[in-house]
Amino acid sequence: MTRLGELIRSEIQRGGPVSFERFMERALYHPEHGYYLRDKDPFGKQGDFFTNSQMQPVFGRFIARQIEQWRREMGSPPEFTVVELGAGRGETLAEVKKALPDVECIAVERGTGPLPGGFTGVVYSNEFFDALPVRVVEKRGAILTELLVGLDEERFGWLAVDTHDAALEQYVDRYAPGLSGGQRLEVNLQALHELERIAGALERGYVLTIDYGYTAEEIAAGRRFPQGSLMAYQSHQALEDVLTEPGECDITAHVNFTALEERGRDLGLDSLGLRTQARFLLDLGEGDQFASVLAGSEVEALQLRLQLKSLLIGMGETFRVLVQRK
């Protein structure tokens, strides 16, 4: 068992089973041993996964282009701020800064404090919501159970308990009403909280969210993710069991875009729709046949084309893009 595994195990021995949200919080963000906070870099070839952000500079040029379009549509306000939530290594924001030097760019990471207050601009994120710790529920007949993490001898195991937690029940009723018997679901209450932070800080502008995800309609009656969407990644391989090796692998849950859209509406964020990443990039690039995102020396051209191909083909259908406007 990993050092972090031992710490979680003794927490369970002392206080009883914990929510998966607690387990995931420790696994990813424990100050010393958490996956995102330990010394080893999780991103890129030597790490565990690639994100869009490693496809630079092309990805950042697309994001900058979208931001510039919105800025113009808004009448080019003199003060315009771009906030990236969960900026990781900050590659995308660096490209945005290069393309739009007069825009204020702020990277918000876990623990960097509140978002700037009352700004005009854009809140952008890539694979931020899927990295937030989630609780897990399972419908058993008509009853909603919560799956906690307990100990099965020395190993971690799932433990179903009847839940009468109003927050979980309301989430399911509103954002996953078609859940069928036996189906599992991740409940991302932290995503709703983050959306509140965003809506509270943004006075006027856009929210651009890129992530893996689904809609309530798609998962109804177990059509997608009957066993939930939790995944663990290590060295570019998907691991079946998300409870093994906490701290040594990434853990993600697909994002419920219906929840972001519906909760967003309550908070004054109008949804302008959900598209695949491929559609989003094509809509941005078709005007000039991708000339500006592929601009570079002859030597760079091949690399830029490969980046574009990965963004469109490899990642183009799996990632979705949600745009909201306030």
Ligand X SMILES: C[S@@+](CC[C@H](N)C(=O)[O-])C[C@H]1O[C@@H](n2cnc3c(N)ncnc32)[C@H](O)[C@@H]1O
Question: What are the residues binding ligand X (CB under 6 A)?
Answer: 36, 43, 51-53, 85-88, 108-110, 126-128, 131-132
Q: Please, what is the minimum distance in Å from the beta carbon of residue 28 to ligand X?
A: 7
Cis peptide before 226 (omega within 30 of 0): no
Adjacent-strand bridge partners of 258 = none
Cα 22 to chain centroid distance, Å, stands at 18
- Judged by DSSP in three states, 43 sits in strand
Cα 89 to chain centroid distance, Å, stands at 15
User: Which is nearer to ligand X, 119 or 128 (by Cβ)?
Assistant: 128
User: Which is nearer to ligand X, 85 or 242 (by Cβ)?
Assistant: 85
- Judged by DSSP in three states, 121 sits in strand
Q: Please, what is the minimum distance in Å from the beta carbon of residue 43 to ligand X?
A: 6
User: Over 242-283, what HEC string results?
Assistant: CCCCCCCCEEECCEEHHHHHHHHHHCCCEEEEEEEHHHHHHH
In terms of Cβ atoms closer than 10 Å to its own Cβ (0-12, 13-18, 19+), residue 296 is middle
User: Which is nearer to ligand X, 93 or 176 (by Cβ)?
Assistant: 93
Q: Please, what is the minimum distance in Å from the beta carbon of residue 309 to ligand X?
A: 18
Specify the long-range contacts of residues 30-36, CB closer than 8 Å, at least 24 apart.
30/4, 30/247, 33/2, 33/3, 33/4, 33/7, 33/247, 34/4, 34/247, 35/247, 35/248, 35/249, 35/250, 35/251, 36/110, 36/131
Quote the strand ranges of 178-318, DSSP E: 184-187, 202-214, 231-234, 237-239, 250-252, 255-256, 270-276
Q: Please, what is the minimum distance in Å from the beta carbon of residue 52 to ligand X?
A: 6
How much helix, strand and coil, in percent to the nearest 5, is found in the chain?
40, 30, 35
User: Which is nearer to ligand X, 29 or 290 (by Cβ)?
Assistant: 29
Token digits for 122? 């854009």
Q: Please, what is the minimum distance in Å from the beta carbon of residue 199 to ligand X?
A: 15
Q: Please, what is the minimum distance in Å from the beta carbon of residue 319 to ligand X?
A: 10
Q: Please, what is the minimum distance in Å from the beta carbon of residue 62 to ligand X?
A: 13
Pairing of strands 202-214, 155-162: unpaired
Rounded Cα distance, 189 and 191, in Å: 5
CA angle 223, 224, 225 (to 5 degrees): 125
Q: Please, what is the minimum distance in Å from the beta carbon of residue 132 to ligand X?
A: 6
User: Which is nearer to ligand X, 94 or 278 (by Cβ)?
Assistant: 94
User: Which is nearer to ligand X, 123 or 148 (by Cβ)?
Assistant: 123
User: Which is nearer to ligand X, 110 or 326 (by Cβ)?
Assistant: 110
Q: Please, what is the minimum distance in Å from the beta carbon of residue 231 to ligand X?
A: 12
User: Which is nearer to ligand X, 17 or 264 (by Cβ)?
Assistant: 264
